[in-house]
Amino acid sequence: MTAPFGVYVHIPFCAQRCDYCAFATWTDRHHLQQAYMAALLADVRRTDLPPVTSVFVGGGTPTLVDPHLLAAVVRALPTVDGAEMTVECNPDDLDVSILQVYADAGVNRVSIGVQSMVPHVLRSLGRTHEPANVRTAVEAVRAAGIPTFNLDLIYGGAGESLDDWRTTLEGALALEPTHVSAYALTVEAGTPLFDEPDRHPDDDDLADKYDLADDLLVASGRENYEVSNWALPGHECRHNVLYWQQGDYLGFGSAAHSHRAGRRWWNLRTPERYLGAVERGETTEAAGETLDAETQRVEGLQLRLRMRDGVPADALELDGLEGLVDVRDGTARLTRHGRLLANEVSLRLR
């Protein structure tokens, strides 16, 4: 059996930056797209890769670049039969022709950035698409024959009521996604959201919205397999599970991260520096670190605690965690209330 090995490909271009986004993306570098995609392809071709079991193309906005150039990068990867191959997609950009190019290159999963199905909430997040475009995008995914798709949602935006969030969840479920990710809005330094405290989310409101999401998604047959992710059986994101299980993966593109055998590193942050390094035949690595055995062990427990399989019960100091973890057959798993406090519970790992 082939050992899991992932590849992440970073596309750093965006038409507009969302108010909450702190990712390494740019809205003013579109003139670099062709050279950047050529550098990605060259970087993949010069790298000795093991058989790849999952690919995730993220950003940024991958759907902004020429789909044929993206397909060429994906095709250059030595993927195994049945590899999971995901592309993050902006609903405004999707049509059947783009998705068919992806599908012909082996892409069998897309993740659509929905965030909300309520127009005023989308505006508060700095998003530009309309909910109707999400429905059109999903129709295109089905028409292209891509079997698995995720809808990416965010709750806690300024002015979003609990009923607004219910509208988003019900609208998303009406599209019958195989996978739903629902993330609490987080405030990151250096973003427009950070500079406007009156728009910051309220913890109690976030908790209510998480509970509603879990109620509706579980009732629809989607299982919570990680704190913020629900899937129909067999449609869990294998690439993300690889991350959560401390698997090995390589990142291509500016600011992309990699991990192999306890060493992790990250690439040069800007697209100019990344493509320049590739063109000169130099390393794209900016910096890295090697984790000692104890750090690896603790981080592994922290990651596994977030998943439905949980951690060995003796890895937690259980006193005071009543109602936050469920202990059965020597395994401790977060309860729903515990998922809301996963970071706090992880402080009790030993």
List phi, psi (to 5°) of 62. -55, -30
CB burial class (10 A; 0-12, 13-18, 19+) of residue 173?
middle
307 DSSP assignment: B
- Tell me which residue has tokens 């150039």: 69
- Which H helix or E strand runs over 271? helix 271-279
Cα dihedral angle (278, 88, 15, 175), rounded to 10 degrees? Answer: 170
- Provide the sign of the torsion angle of the four alpha carbons 258, 150, 163, 122, taken in this order: positive
pLDDT tens for each residue of the chain, 350 residues long:
789 999 999 999 998 877 787 788 888 999 999 999 999 999 999 999 999 999 999 999 999 999 999 999 999 999 999 999 999 999 999 999 999 999 999 999 999 999 999 999 998 888 878 899 999 999 999 999 999 999 999 999 989 999 999 999 999 999 999 999 999 998 788 887 777 787 788 899 999 999 999 999 999 999 999 999 999 999 999 999 999 999 999 999 999 999 999 999 999 999 999 999 999 999 999 999 999 999 999 999 999 999 999 999 999 999 999 999 999 999 999 999 999 999 999 999 99
- Residue 145 burial (10 A CB sphere; 0-12, 13-18, 19+): exposed
Neighbours of 119 (CB within 10 A): 14
Task: Kindly list the structural domains of the chain, giving each domain's residue range(s) and its CATH number in brackets, ordered by start.
Answer: 5-243 (3.20.20.70), 294-346 (no CATH)
Q: From 125, 155, 172, 161, select the one nearest 21 (Cα to Cα).
A: 125
